[in-house]
């Protein structure tokens, strides 16, 4: 017998499964233990433990009509549904629900690419379309368009955007929700709604103007549970003539402040794509006990200590890779302009040329590109790194991420390093925080990634990771830094930090949720929002 | 006695006014006929007629606490409120409500600029802050930041963004709602909510990361009536080193297709700012009966006819001004690149250099700039044009706009010209449609502006304008083109065209509205959304 959620009887569940089967056909309803287990979260920190978040069954619609039938049956029997796109959101719950016993609505067979327009620069796709699928489609047709993809290419454009996922190329394209335009949604009532211009029958600009007329409702469907998205439009980037990258290296810790100021200017003026910060000292940590001791002592190194150490090893303290996309002459000129600005602002700054490409690339050229996602080429190379974390060099069975949003300034990074350094020391997580640089997927803010490993075999690892995760969430919130995205197991605690005025944002969303989904059947708990009948069960 | 809305008794209104006065002070409550009349829509097409949309009173809060008090009193007495920012939205209702008898909540005294961050590139402002205010603030401090402003500079950043207003500079900055980040809102309950990162107490990135955690609700407050926005953040553009513009002219009507394709590429690749399309033949209409006859005959000129006429006068059929922002070498290179692409794609294309500036400009230099808004300089020059319309050269007392969203393609423009040409002929509005080019404020779509004049003295002008407006809305909707913004008097009819699946988008919004604002006190009718108790009264 599968796990069933509070309030759902075995009889009601069986009746719903029978109706799902009648409506969709037996081959589209998944009920065997073995098959349902495929929807477990491969990176669950509660693996095989009583609290593991698991599905009771899955349904695999082929069409919007199937989705409507599923939603209507779920309403009739009060069956909680949990829609997934391709279900590849590892580290953020995979294909498992926020509420154990939910029926997974697996959208992978709805994988049509409905339109790609080269000149107007958009695509309209179903949730089962992966980054590989859309890339192949564009390449086969020779369209001069790029996609922006996250690390693993097997994910869904729709699923990633709805989780506020991010990528690697130019400007606002990296914000996958922000570069969507127009949705089709099956509402909790079972009705089909189209948003933006799509609400106008026969609309000609559904993928070109997002707001349509009146209130703009799309935001409710990202990290939310107001419906099941069945189509979504995305703006695509025109293929540039060329790409080049270069690195700026700065000698002193405090140079980070001027470095970020200058790089912000370049990025906000659309002169560069994603900037990649780092510290050349990271490479020395393993073999330099002096550096390690400095990083691990309470409070970490002083500015002087770090600067002197770096100078003694002829290393810069920080670096930033700048990426340029555009006509060859433009990007050569922009790199010169960047060097002039940076050299004037930061005494001792050094510059190194890196890669350079002209498009389109041959298949062989593509093979040789070290960081393919920066050119919008989906791939799976990320998994060679395992549970990527500077503090966890030995790949584990999986990982969770915490990624607090911090200001886009060097001062904020230095401050966050000190705070994380303290909490890492408290939790025995090492001294890496003092060389940690921000992730820069977001166009207008920084995040500081913290990874926690999970284990399939050692529950103690998981317990420690969850306890550490909770502690870091708490410390970050005390400093005004909040998470942008969460694995289901942490969603309530993350949402609890967004507590301004007695959690009014959450209460406002709950009010809307109860009105739109009175039976609470869609993705209960997603984004920290629970339907009325389940709110009592929250921690 | 003021006009009162359905369901509000004179006694309840008087009780509410007394409480407003007690809470805010008499000087912040406006009730005399003479003063309330200042909130009339100066461009109303129902001027002095029984259906004119007028307020019953106004309240002028100084603080968020005042706004909360107003909302609580309004709930108690079921008084409909209509918030305005600076109330300068002429052509879109000015400071008048959608529901006659509403009490205006005039936010003009809440005009603090709370923060401007140069490096991170944002501002946080109250609704009373005008484009002039923020510009002056930035100039006085010598910050290297630009604003993006609409034609008249007296409007409010918050008000304009909430109406999905648009501007003139670079890329997504022109989308004023799209470039906002973070809101503070007084909800219909009177509670203060902060959105995005602002929901985290002491948040450090409120103006840098818009989604926060969970559902993203900001969209409900634009063209909507889910609360009164009291603070709002905006991303600002870094001051570029230089600006230049150039014009491309193309000889044949069908060249518009390739022209738009090429200009789309340049714009979507962030190589140009707003492109400005036009037809050099427009200048000839007044003095060339042959051209006029061609434009006014049923179906308009054939491609050949128009091309031959243009050639005979040594004129291009279309032109497009390209605007470049960035380092001097970059923009010179981008203009060369644009010329190469356009020359290769369009035989016979010609190019002309136009303006060129290096920043910052002196006060004297600024005076000489013909199109100041393209450089983010707010001004009031637009009013020298009067009721700007090619078909209404004699300024009238005001105007209304209809601006259907059409695809960003040359084919769509040519198609829309034919359709508008037909309807203009039917309505006696002249033959100008065949030379009409799209407005390009929106980054990813075109709109085709249609102006209707209003009169303070001749109700027949207004009646004809409204009838013509309705007819154009209807014809546009039949072709899949919908309006992005509306004067209150047309809001219901515009929203009615967004009718996909029995108006499910409107019904979804109504469901949310009733839950969030059970007494229907906030901006009834805004964006075509009415509270439950008033829905029966809709046309």
CA A147/CA A138 separation, integer angstroms: 9
Nearest C-alpha in A relative to B172:
A172
pLDDT value at residue B417: 97
pTM: 0.97
User: Chain B: nearest CA to A291, how far in angstroms?
Assistant: 31
B177 touches chain A (CB under 8 A): yes
Which of A225, A482, A528 lies at the smallest CB-CB distance from B203? A482
Residue ranges of chain B with pLDDT lower than 70? 385-395, 537-539
pLDDT value at residue A503: 98
Nearest C-alpha in A relative to B170:
A269
CA B51/CA B142 separation, integer angstroms: 49
Which phi-psi region, left, alpha or beta, contains residue A299 (left: φ > 0; alpha: ψ -120 to 50)? left
Which of B400, B409, B398, B391 lies closest to B481 in space, CA to CA? B409
B132 touches chain A (CB under 8 A): no
Share of chain A above pLDDT 90, in %: 93
Q: Write down the mean pLDDT value for chain A.
A: 95
Residue ranges of chain A with pLDDT lower than 70? 385-395, 537-539
pLDDT value at residue A384: 73
Angle between helices A289-296 and A303-312 (to 10 degrees): 170
Nearest C-alpha in A relative to B223:
A214
Nearest C-alpha in A relative to B145:
A265
Which of B119, B240, B337 lies at the smallest CB-CB distance from A330? B337
CA A378/CA A373 separation, integer angstroms: 6
In sequence order, what are the residues at sequence separation of 6 or more whose Cβ sits closer than 8 angstroms to the Cβ of residue B401? B91, B92, B449, B450, B451, B452, B485, B487
DSSP A361: P
- Are B445 and A222 an interchain contact pair (Cβ–Cβ within 8 Å)? no
Angle (nearest 5°) at CA B193 between B187 and B198: 155
Which of B474, B537, B528 lies closest to B505 in space, CA to CA? B528
pLDDT value at residue B371: 95
Q: In the structure encoding, which two tokens stand for residue B377, read together? A: 């300089």
B344 touches chain A (CB under 8 A): no
pLDDT value at residue B386: 58
User: Chain B: nearest CA to A235, how far in angstroms?
Assistant: 9
pLDDT value at residue B388: 52
Q: How many residues does chain A have?
A: 539
ipTM strictly over 0.85? Answer: yes
pLDDT value at residue B539: 45
In sequence order, what are the residues at sequence separation of 6 or more whose Cβ sits closer than 8 angstroms to the Cβ of residue A394? A386
Q: Is-contact B511 A191, C-beta < 8 A?
A: no
CA dihedral A361→A364→A370→A373, nearest 10 degrees, is 50
Instruction: Scan residues 70-99 of B and list those with Cβ closer than 8 Å to A.
Output: none
Number of alpha helices (DSSP H) and beta strands (DSSP E) in chain A: 14, 20
B515 touches chain A (CB under 8 A): yes
Question: Which residues of B are marked as active site?
Answer: 92, 484-485
> Which H helix or E strand runs over B404?
strand B404-406
A408 touches chain B (CB under 8 A): yes
CA dihedral A14→A20→A21→A26, nearest 10 degrees, is -110
Q: In the structure encoding, which two tokens stand for residue B483, read together? A: 């309006």
User: What are the two backbone dihedrals, phi and then psi, of residue A51, each rounded to the nearest 5 degrees?
Assistant: -80, 0
pLDDT value at residue A537: 61
Q: In the structure encoding, which two tokens stand for residue B40, read together? A: 């009339």
Instruction: Scan residues 477-506 of B and list those with Cβ closer than 8 Å to A.
Output: 477-486, 494-495, 497-501, 504-506
Which of A23, A31, A16, A137 lies closest to A78 in space, CA to CA? A16
- Are B495 and A336 an interchain contact pair (Cβ–Cβ within 8 Å)? no
Q: Is-contact A57 A104, C-beta < 8 A?
A: yes
Residue B360: other Cβ atoms inside 10 A: 11
- Are A482 and B213 an interchain contact pair (Cβ–Cβ within 8 Å)? yes
pLDDT value at residue A279: 98
């Amino acid at each position: 017998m599968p796990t069933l959620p509070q309030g759902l009887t075995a009889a009601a569940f069986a009746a719903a499964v029978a109706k799902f089967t009648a409506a969709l056909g037996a081959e589209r309803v998944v009920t065997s233990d073995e098959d349902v287990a495929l929807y477990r979260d491969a990176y669950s920190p509660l693996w095989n433990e009583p609290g593991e978040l698991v599905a009771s069954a899955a349904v695999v619609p082929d069409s919007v009509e199937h989705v409507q039938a599923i939603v209507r049956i779920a309403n009739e029997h009060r069956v909680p549904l949990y829609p997934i796109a391709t279900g590849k959101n590892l580290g953020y719950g995979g294909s498992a629900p926020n509420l154990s016993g939910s029926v997974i609505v697996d959208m992978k067979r709805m994988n049509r690419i409905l339109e790609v327009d080269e000149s107007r620069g958009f695509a309209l796709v179903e949730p089962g379309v992966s980054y590989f699928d859309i890339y192949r489609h564009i390449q086969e047709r020779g369209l001069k368009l790029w996609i922006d993809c996250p690390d693993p290419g097997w994910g869904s454009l729709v699923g990633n955007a709805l989780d506020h996922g991010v990528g690697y190329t130019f400007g606002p394209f990296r914000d996958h929700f922000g570069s969507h335009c127009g949705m089709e949604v099956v509402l909790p009532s079972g009705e089909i709604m189209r948003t933006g211009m799509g609400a106008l029958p026969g609309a000609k600009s559904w993928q070109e103007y997002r707001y349509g007329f009146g209130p703009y409702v799309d935001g409710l469907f990202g990290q939310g549970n107001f419906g099941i998205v069945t189509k979504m439009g995305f703006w695509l980037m025109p293929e540039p003539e060329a790409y080049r990258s270069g690195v700026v290296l700065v000698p002193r810790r405090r140079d980070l402040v001027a470095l970020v100021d200058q790089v912000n200017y370049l990025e906000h003026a659309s002169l560069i794509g994603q900037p990649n910060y780092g510290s050349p000292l990271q490479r020395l940590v393993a073999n330099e006990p002096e550096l390690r001791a400095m990083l691990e002592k309470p409070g970490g190194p002083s500015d002087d200590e770090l600067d002197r150490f770096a100078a003694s090893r002829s290393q810069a303290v920080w670096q930033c890779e700048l990426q340029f996309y555009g006509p060859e002459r433009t990007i050569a000129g922009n790199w010169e302009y960047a060097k002039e600005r940076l050299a004037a602002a930061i005494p001792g700054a050094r510059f190194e040329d890196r890669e350079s490409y002209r498009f389109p690339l041959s298949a062989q050229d593509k093979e040789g590109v070290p960081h393919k996602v920066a050119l919008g080429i989906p791939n799976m190379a990320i998994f060679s790194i395992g549970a990527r974390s500077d503090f966890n060099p030995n790949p584990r069975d999986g990982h969770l991420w915490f990624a607090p949003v911090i200001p886009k300034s060097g001062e904020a990074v230095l401050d966050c390093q000190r705070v994380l350094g303290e909490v890492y020391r408290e939790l025995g997580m090492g001294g890496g925080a003092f060389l940690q640089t921000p992730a820069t997927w977001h166009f207008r803010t920084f995040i500081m990634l913290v990874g926690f490993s999970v284990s399939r075999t050692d529950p103690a690892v998981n317990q420690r990771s969850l306890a550490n995760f909770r502690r870091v969430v708490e410390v970050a919130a005390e400093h005004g830094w909040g998470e942008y995205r969460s694995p289901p197991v942490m969603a309530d605690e993350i949402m609890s930090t967004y507590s301004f005025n007695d959690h009014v944002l959450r209460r406002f969303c709950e009010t809307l949720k109860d009105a739109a989904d009175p039976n609470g059947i869609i993705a209960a708990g997603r984004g920290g929002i629970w339907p009325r009948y389940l709110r009592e069960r929250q921690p």
